[in-house]
Structure formats: structure tokens, C-alpha cells
Structure 1
């Protein structure tokens, strides 16, 4: 049976670019993979056909020869000296090696490998660090400069982060040939695992640095000065680029993330940019009205007028006395909530005065009167 045109096999035109060929190949390879077509006896043959087509067209020289001479370019006497009778058309791989290419194309990036050969870079980026910082509400209001001691891994000064003693260069790992991973092939399946010799680094150090043991970094507390802006609240995250762990063997440094927690305050309760403050007032002050002084978060005082007849729970707003917004420059408000306090430990004279007041009470308690009218109506309804 005559071979089909390679472009037809991949479903592309003759003028397709390398990216278009690769995209078409990956689609066809997944479509006809034997593991996904166990009930289709023709899938394996089509899978081989797709790989043969792509192995030819992905190579610039072979593609040029195929475009000029077609399949004849790879038959006996033609370019490449292929096997008699066609077969894979001069390709040296078999079905398993074809699947290996599929594995590289589909999963190479996910596994952290590099396609197309070549040694894996020995430099590894350092880890990001998290630091939990607890501050007071007053510090969140004004902003503050904080000095921190952060335990981290820093570049080894003795070997300059290379991990090797006396300036020696690391050598390519003989087990994985610098790839950092070893591949095991069983039939159609190819599995990869981290190289046990170099632990995935791709290189080994014959003479490791005595100070860092070949890691290229050492554990150390580092002093940092951090600017905490005004308006931060619990959950605010501050990123310090390049202040995390040093990279392995000269790799780039990670970042440091500072997570802010604002401690509860004895007087104020925060709600976004606003503050709430509960202020106790005497029964007499609530009844007669008057002025009181309340604290503000900036350390000052504000005079608040209490209307006569105020009840517990009544709120009054002090505009602009809340927290600054982290972004935008606006300032929240402060809400004063009254808590009418019942007197305790009364003297005999005080008790007598209160009883006298109660006797001459002329419906001065509207909420109580309304409540008991509702109670009476409820009981009357139950009786009927």
C-alpha cells in the first residue's frame, strides 16, 4: 500500500509553519495513542504513521528533501539511506522512542525538563518566605518603620554561592547527563524521576565548600527595615522583592511576604476605615443631656453633646476621626455608641430620691409604656 502524504497524515498544508506542524502532530498523537484507543486495532498503525510524518517534517533538511522528492527521498538510494521496503523511511527510532517524543512534547514543561537535549541549569530560585507581623492600632493609624530579624538562607560568602570549594566548577552529573532526571521505559510507557545522584540539580560537586556543604547558601538571621504604611489592616500583605531565601548555587533570590495583623484595641473597634467606641454615661446625663469628652485614635479628645433622653445604643458620628485608607487618601469616621449605666451601691438617701421620682413619674418612659400596652393586648387575645 502506497504511503499517504505526510502533510495529509498531519492534516496540514504543505506551507505549514513549524508551530503549525507541531500543533497538528500533538493533536493527532493524542487522538491515535493506543492507550486511548484500546478498542481500535488501527490506532497503533496510525500513531506510528503520525510520528513518522512529524519526525520527517520537523527536521529542516528532511522536510526540504521531502518537499522536493516526496517519499522517494528516503528510499534506498535516496537521501538518508532508509530501510528497504519503506517502514519508518530512514528514521532510526521505533514505536517506543516515538512515544518518548510525545511524552517530552506533552509533559516536558510540566515535569520541569527541557526539550531538545542540553544540560539542565544548576541555578535554582530561592524559596519565598512569610513573616507574620503584629502591630498596634495606633501604629496602623500613623504608619511605622519596623526593624525585623528574619531567619533565612543567604548566599555562602566563602564559595560565592557556587557550592564548590576553591572556586572549582560543578561537573555534569554522569547519571542523568545534566538533565536532573532519569527516564525508565517499559513498553509504551515512559516514566521519569528525579536523578538520585544529583537530586535533580543536573550537576555534582566533587569538592564541596566546607562552610555550606555544597548547597551554596547558609542559614542566617538577617536584619531588615520595613516601612509599614498608614491604613494597613489585618490581612494586608507587603511584598519585599529579593528578600527571601538565596537561590541554590547562584540562583535568584526569592521574595519576602509580610502579613500584617492589627492587635485588638482596648477602646476602639475597627470596621474597615471606621472606628467604633462605646462610651458609658450615667442615667442622669442620659436623661438630662450634657457634654462628654471622648478619646480619638490620634491621641486627642473630642467633645460630644448628648441629647436629653438618650437611650443605650444611640450613635453619634465624628467625621474624619477614623482610620486613613491604605489607598486613596480618604479618612474614615468614628462612631460613638452610648451605654446608659444603671447606678449601683445606692445610699439610703439615693434610694429615697429614686422612689420619690418614681412616684411622681408622669409617663417619662415611652418605650416601657408601649411595651406593656403590647403585653396587655397579647394577654387579652390569649384569654379570648
Structure 2
């Protein structure tokens, strides 16, 4: 039996851990595809090979049953005879499609990819303030991209005339012999189109695309959060030789806010109060995304106490109702005291004498009891 060509570990190919989630796999594949896509690396055979390797890895790991088999048996899971009989790939859905797409038409079988590929997708990161993300916004963006050549309408030909490719004779694929195997692959001369340009366009040099900065108006819906993506169909790179364009994906990143911290649909903020307010109770004004509201502070409130204001959070794009606002009280130690204030505090402190002082400090009492227990255990 012929030796099997060694292949890299699929997780290594995508650059993820073995416990990676489906979303991690998708993000990793997207990065690989954007980096090695043939449209971004014309004529680079190493990049094309890396693209196919990433595609193969993702198509196996993104399928639950295939991933389980791969984790258990590695690449051997998909070799001939694996899985209890039934021929190559028995028990594994569409494995022939995966390997056929990667290696082309082995032994002359299959249909093969003909015609130009669609344009590459483009990613764009848009930074928003919390207020913009919560309320939604329309914003203009500028995208450097490959756009359809206006002179030749994307055909690449100055006169619109095309000729049969001399290498593949119009078939879009070439056959070659490797040992006892007869194999087919996309024609390197015409890129699988089967046609060549007789008189290339002077503006795009026969590519059908030109570099251009495109200005777009993007509508960001209310309630988006970091990681959300908006897809603009057909606004990616133009396809070669008049092929359909790719898509534009606008990914949202929300900048940190000076007051609020977002957690899904909920918001959190710290509310500083004075010692006297915490001890005696008071009403304070706290900010929300809709303006200030009154928050009642009960007497004897301790620092870290959290109050919930219902429906004062965020209504995300996936929610029917807004989240809540959680206000965490922080009792501040007074600074820059006047002489009178210092004397009053000294008089106040003098009232805490003897064991009776402990009843006014619940956390301190618990701490002291814990310390005593600790030392008793250490010295026993």
C-alpha cells in the first residue's frame, strides 16, 4: 500500500486550541481565508495551497460528527476502510465534496470549478461610543478596495473580444500525468475561464478591476455591541473578469465608557457617596442613558451595596425589552478637611469606645473575630 502523504494537524492549520468553540473556528477560518484567498494573492501557489489547507481543516472541524472522529483517530478517520466498511468515506457525509474541491478532479472524475470566482469579502472595524451603539447611527466610511473597471465594465478587454485559451483550449482545466495517476486542475493561464483577452484594457491591464477608495453610508442599528457584524451584500471586492463582487462585513467595537460598563443588556456604574449619606441615608441623582434619576440610599448602607434600576439598561438588537442598570455604592473617605470638620470627626470618633463600638461596625467585628480565630489555631 502506498504511503499516505503527511498532513498538518487541522487545529494547527487554523491556529486554534483543540477545545476551540464553533465561533472560534469560524473566526480563525475567516482570518485564514482573508489572508490566503487566491483573489488577494494572484499567481501565488503557496498562498493557494494554504487557502485549500484552511478550507479542508474548517470543513472537517466545523462538522460535529467529523470533528469527533478526527479528535479520536486523526487524519486516519477519513482514509479508505475507516468506519467499519462501506468503502472510502463510509459514514461521513460529503467527504467526497470536500476532497474533490481541494484536490480537483482525480482520475478525471468530477466537474471541477470553471468560470471566475466571486470577489473577496472585505472586513471593516467601526469604533463607536456606547451612546452611538445603544441608539444606532448612520455613518459614512471609506473602503480601499478593488472595484469594477469603468472602462471595460469588468471584462478586462478593451474591445470586448475574448479568445479560446491556447493552454486549455477553452475547457478551463488542464490534465497532467503524475505517475500512474491522471489528474486535472484549473488552467493556470486563464484561471479556469477558458477564455483569454485579445486586447487588454489599458486602465486595468486586463484584470477587470482597479484599486479605488469607495465611500459608503452604513446604517448601524440600535443596540449593537462589540463583535456584532453588519453585512453589506455586494460591497466587497469586485470579482475578476466580471464575476460577482464579494460582501463587506462591518464589525462593531464599542469604546470603554467613562461611567458605564456594559454586560450584555445590563449596565453597571459606581455611585460615590459621603460617609454621612451612607450612615444617615439620602437621595442622590444618578446618570442613565435617558437622563438623571433619583436613587434612594437607605440609612446604614455599606460600600459595595448594589441597587437595581429596572429597564434602565440597553435594549440590544436581539432583545424585546431593555436590561437593567446596577448602581454600586462606593463610600468615599473625605479629603481636604477644614479644621472644624476635623474636630467634629475627632469628637465623633471619641464616641466609639470599648467593646460597644463593635456593634456600629459589622464588617469590622466579623474581621476581628476571624483574626482571633486564626491566631488561636496558629498557637494551639
Normalising to structure 1: TM-score of the pair?
0.67
Instruction: Measure, in 2, the Cα distance between the counterparts of 1:197 and 1:357.
Output: 91
1:111 Cα offset (Å): 4.4
Query: Residue 362 of structure 2 aligns with which residue?
Result: 366
Instruction: Measure, in 1, the Cα distance between the counterparts of 2:200 and 2:268.
Output: 61
Query: Residue 208 of structure 1 aligns with which residue?
Result: 200
Instruction: Measure, in 1, the Cα distance between the counterparts of 2:112 and 2:151.
Output: 26
1:122 Cα offset (Å): 3.8
1:165 Cα offset (Å): 0.7
Aligned residue for 2:343, secondary structure, equals helix
Query: Residue 164 of structure 1 aligns with which residue?
Result: 157
1:134 Cα offset (Å): 0.8
1:183 Cα offset (Å): 2.4
Query: Residue 127 of structure 2 aligns with which residue?
Result: 134
In the alignment, is residue 305 of structure 1 matched against residue 301 of structure 2? no
In the alignment, is residue 380 of structure 1 matched against residue 371 of structure 2? no
Instruction: Measure, in 2, the Cα distance between the counterparts of 1:110 and 1:380.
Output: 72
1:380 Cα offset (Å): 3.4
Contact preservation (8 Å) 1:120, 1:202: no
- Aligned pair partner of 1:147 in 115, 136, 140: 140
Contact preservation (8 Å) 2:116, 2:239: yes
C-alpha change, 1:254 and 1:279, in structure 2 (3 Å) is: same
1:261 Cα offset (Å): 0.6
1:295 Cα offset (Å): 0.8
Query: Residue 290 of structure 1 aligns with which residue?
Result: 282
Instruction: Measure, in 2, the Cα distance between the counterparts of 1:106 and 1:152.
Output: 30
Query: Residue 37 of structure 2 aligns with which residue?
Result: none
- Aligned pair partner of 2:348 in 357, 371, 378: 357
- Aligned pair partner of 2:338 in 334, 342, 347: 347
Write out aligned runs for 1:64-83 (5 A): none
The Cα RMSD (Å) is 2.8
Instruction: Measure, in 1, the Cα distance between the counterparts of 2:111 and 2:267.
Output: 61
Instruction: Measure, in 1, the Cα distance between the counterparts of 2:146 and 2:265.
Output: 38
Aligned residue for 1:219, secondary structure, equals strand
Write out aligned runs for 1:252-331 (5 A): 252-298=244-290, 300-331=291-322
1:368 Cα offset (Å): 1.1
1:121 Cα offset (Å): 4.4
Contact preservation (8 Å) 1:113, 1:120: no
Please identify, of 335-344 and 359-368, the stretch whose mean Cα deviation from structure 2 is larger: 359-368
1:118 Cα offset (Å): 9.7
Instruction: Measure, in 2, the Cα distance between the counterparts of 1:327 and 1:248.
Output: 37
CA offsets 1:196-252 (integer angstroms, 9 cap, x no match): 432444321121000111111111111211111111000001111111111111111
Aligned residue for 2:143, secondary structure, equals strand
Task: Point out where structure 1 has 5 or more consecutive residues left out of the alignment.
Answer: 1-35, 38-103
Instruction: Measure, in 2, the Cα distance between the counterparts of 1:305 and 1:376.
Output: 37
Aligned residue for 1:380, secondary structure, equals helix
- Aligned pair partner of 1:249 in 231, 236, 241: 241
Between structure 1 and structure 2, the one with the greater Rg is: 1
Normalising to structure 2: TM-score of the pair?
0.68
Instruction: Measure, in 2, the Cα distance between the counterparts of 1:174 and 1:358.
Output: 98
